[in-house]
């Protein structure tokens, strides 16, 4: 068993070495396929970061009538926080709303004078509600439209944001669809490239396969070197792809920082925290593909 494994490994290394150019070409094509997949992953990560950044700037402000006291607003805040869709609710008391208004209109003496003439605080408390995902705002609004809150709420400014939120959601859906479409096309191309590359590699060894069959080598001994070679191809391609990806990040990060001003997006950190999954899955996928391709490519020559 060990002797056979050692000979299979030796044969695989000999095949790799004797057809060095074909081996390099195979690894290069596998790398191109993996780089395409990584490009899609990076686009997804950048899109997600942009979405989160924009979402962070959006909230729904609920303005309460001035007659509503702060305790009632606190109760509604507590109810809102119980909702799964809600990530945070900022409470601005009546006094805070007044102070905010004054600050916003400090350069407008007419408004400030009118306010003074009222002799009382005309503002109610305000709740600024943030959803976990921009898609969830309509559900929060529906919650606030309950009859029991109708008399308490003066205004909700969701309508102002609704357009923006709808746009962002539509944009994200488009990006996701585009990403999936491109990933599917690249994936299909990668599969075809890998299958054909392996077929060419096996074709060049048809002489050895014929001789092996003739002298009584078992099918698994014949397949062994090709499987081992697939392992070498997949491992080398994955390691080199990882190297190119990280080099690319170093090069691209300053440009990304400029492009997404104010958004904290480190691709290196993103990859570092997911490296085992990203490259592990890519290695397994490419090895599975090359192994299955070689299995079928070799089978053709095993019929002799």
Q: Is 219 a binder of another protein (CB under 8 A)? A: yes
User: Least separation, in Å, of the C-beta of 201 and another protein?
Assistant: 15
213 touches another protein (CB under 8 A): yes
- Residue 272 phi/psi, 5-degree rounding, is -60, -40
Indicate which single residue of 211, 239, 247, 259 sits in contact with another protein (rule: CB under 8 A): 211
Considering only residues 3, 110, 118, 147, which one is a binding residue for another protein as defined by CB under 8 A?
A: 3
Distance, in Å, from the CA atom of 221 to the CA atom of 276, rounded to the nearest integer, reads 32
Residue 240 CB, shortest distance to another protein, in Å, is 27
Residue 272 binds to another protein (criterion: CB under 8 A): no
Q: Is 70 exposed, middle or buried (0-12, 13-18, 19+ CB in 10 A)?
A: middle
Is 208 a binder of another protein (CB under 8 A)? yes
Give the span between the Cα atoms of 247 and 256, in whole angstroms. Answer: 14
CB contact at 8 A, 152 and 65: yes
Q: Does 109 bind another protein (CB under 8 A)?
A: no
Site string for another protein, 165-204 (x = CB under 8 A): ----------------------------------------
Identity of the residue, 124 or 224, whose beta carbon is nearer to another protein in the bound complex:
224
Question: Distance from CA of residue 141 to its chain's centroid?
Answer: 28
What order of strands is seen across the sheet that includes strand 60-64?
Answer: 86-92, 126-131, 60-64, 153-156
Q: Name which of 96 and 210 has its Cβ closer to another protein.
A: 210
By CB under 8 A, residue 218 contacts another protein: yes
Number of residues that bind another protein (CB under 8 A): 20
Output the CA angle 58-263-277, nearest 5 degrees.
105
The label of the residue with tokens 């150019």 reads 21
Q: Considering only 40-48, 115-123, 167-175, 217-225, which stretch makes contact with another protein by CB under 8 A?
A: 217-225
Cβ 63 vs Cβ 156: under 8 Å: yes
d(CA 302, CA 304): 5
- Can residue 20 be called a binding residue for another protein (CB under 8 A)? no
Cα distance between residue 159 and residue 170, in whole Å: 17
Cβ proximity to another protein: between 221 and 295 the closer is 221
Residues 79-108 as x/- pattern, contact with another protein by CB under 8 A = ------------------------------
Task: Identify the burial level of 235 via C-beta atoms within 10 angstroms of its C-beta, where 0-12 means exposed, 13-18 middle and 19 or more buried.
Answer: middle
Q: Determine which residue in the list 109, 110, 148, 216 makes contact with another protein, applying CB under 8 A.
A: 216
Q: Given the rule CB under 8 A, which residues bind another protein?
A: 3-4, 7, 18, 207-208, 210-219, 221-222, 302, 304
């Amino acid at each position: 068993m060990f002797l056979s494994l050692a000979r299979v490994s030796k044969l695989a290394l000999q095949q790799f070495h004797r057809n060095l150019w074909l081996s390099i070409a195979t690894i290069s094509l596998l790398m191109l396929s993996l780089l395409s997949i990584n490009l899609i992953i990076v686009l997804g990560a950048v899109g997600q970061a942009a979405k989160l950044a924009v979402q962070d700037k959006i909230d729904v402000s609920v303005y309460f009538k001035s007659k509503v006291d702060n305790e009632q607003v606190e109760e509604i805040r507590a109810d809102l926080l119980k909702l799964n869709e809600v990530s945070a609710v900022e409470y601005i008391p009546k006094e805070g709303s007044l102070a905010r208004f004054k600050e916003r209109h400090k350069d407008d003496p007419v408004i400030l004078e009118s306010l003074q003439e009222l002799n009382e605080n005309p503002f109610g408390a305000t709740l600024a509600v943030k959803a976990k995902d921009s898609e969830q705002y309509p559900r929060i609004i529906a919650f606030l439209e309950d009859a029991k809150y109708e008399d308490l709420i003066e205004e909700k400014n969701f309508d102002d944001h609704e357009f923006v939120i709808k746009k962002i959601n539509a944009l994200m859906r488009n990006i996701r669809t585009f990403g999936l479409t491109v990933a599917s096309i690249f994936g299909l191309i990668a599969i075809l490239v890998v299958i054909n590359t392996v077929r060419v590699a096996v074709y060049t060894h048809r002489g050895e396969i014929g001789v092996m069959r003739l002298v009584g080598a078992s099918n698994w001994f014949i397949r062994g070197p090709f499987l081992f070679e697939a392992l070498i191809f997949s491992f080398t391609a994955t390691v080199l792809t990882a190297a190119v990806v990280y080099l690319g990040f170093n090069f691209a990060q300053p440009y990304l920082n400029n492009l997404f001003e104010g958004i904290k997006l480190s691709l290196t950190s993103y990859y570092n925290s997911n490296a085992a999954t990203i490259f592990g899955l890519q290695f397994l996928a490419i090895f599975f593909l090359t192994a299955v391709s070689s299995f079928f490519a070799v089978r053709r020559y095993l019929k002799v």
